[in-house]
Structure 1
Amino acid sequence: MRRALNIKNKLSFIDGNISKPTDSFDPLFTPWEYCNDMIIDWIQHSIGFEHRLTIAHADIATNVWTDLRERFSIQNAPRIFQLTKAISSLVQNADSVSVYYNTLKSYWDELEIYEPMPLCTCGSVKTLTDYNHRTKVMQFLMRLLRLYSGSGSSI
């Protein structure tokens, strides 16, 4: 969503850099309301139906964005558990290697949202990143069809 808003030059509406004009006679008041309503509408159509009701009466895009960010950035232990379990039980079965990998990668990517790598400039994070990468390679290889099991030793 941030990328779409940035492309449309509307990111400043959700990060608070463009605030609502205080005077309704301000020439920017009407264009601001138009853009703000458009962004709220985009957000409403980008989230699940069950969450739309919570922002149905919102009037400022910044407030909607802040509310959603706070609501969904909280560590979600049940979802982390579900993702970890899905990763550990996923097998290739009849899927192509590409479909199998893409499914696994989507789990990894979502898990990364909940458990991001730490920011560090000391160089230690490279060791952690390398370990994380090796773990993902092993997860991928362990559940490939036996047809590809010989490939694991050459990767």
Structure 2
Amino acid sequence: MAGQITTQNPIQDPGSPYFLHPNENPGVVLVSPILDGRNYHSWARAMTMALDTKNKVEFINGSLPKPPLHDPLSSLWSRCNNLVISWLNKSIDPSILPSILWMETAFEIWKDLRERYHQGDMFRISQLLREIYTVRQGNLSIDAY
């Protein structure tokens, strides 16, 4: 037996993206507050961390593409992808949800939301940076300011 490599079933391996813990279900809201369009950056960071702890971040970053239909992992992939989509849907404001509801992969949804809301926050960041750079302490020392 020494030196023999054993292959564990991916649905039984807690390190596999196909592993589902008994407590994982489609009705769970993974992050709070939900995405409302103005909080994309903080929502995306929180969602990425939540999915990473569940070994499901590969479904949103595109590093685990859908296997061909004849592949034995195809049905496992679909099940996990649909679970991640459910988590995303539960974490998005109902006014945004109809625009992504019919997308087939978590990666498509993630990419669409990023393209739509990532730039919107950049304007606010730019505005905040401008405000920071215009702050003056006048004649006061740094300690007094």
TM-score, scaled to structure 2 = 0.54
> RMSD over aligned Cα, in angstroms?
3.3
Distance in 2 (CA, whole Å) between partners of 1:133 and 1:13 is 39
Match of 2:60 among 14, 18, 22: 14
| CA positional deviation for 1:75 | 3.2
SS in 2 for 1:13: helix
SS in 2 for 1:75: helix
Matches within 5 A, 1:1-155: 1-23=47-69, 25-75=70-120, 111-112=124-125, 132=132, 135=135
SS in 2 for 1:57: coil
Q: Which has the higher helix share?
A: 1
Distance in 2 (CA, whole Å) between partners of 1:43 and 1:13 is 11
Identity level (%): 31
- Report the AA paired with residue 82 of structure 2: D
Unaligned ranges ≥5, structure 2: 1-46, 138-142
| CA positional deviation for 1:74 | 1.9
| CA positional deviation for 1:46 | 0.6
Distance in 2 (CA, whole Å) between partners of 1:132 and 1:46 is 32
- Report the AA paired with residue 87 of structure 2: W
TM-score, scaled to structure 1 = 0.50
How many residue pairs end up in the alignment? 95
Distance in 2 (CA, whole Å) between partners of 1:65 and 1:76 is 16
| CA positional deviation for 1:58 | 1.3
| CA positional deviation for 1:72 | 0.3
Relative contact order (C-alpha < 8 Å, sep 6+): which is higher? 2
| CA positional deviation for 1:8 | 0.7
Unaligned ranges ≥5, structure 1: 81-110, 118-127, 139-152
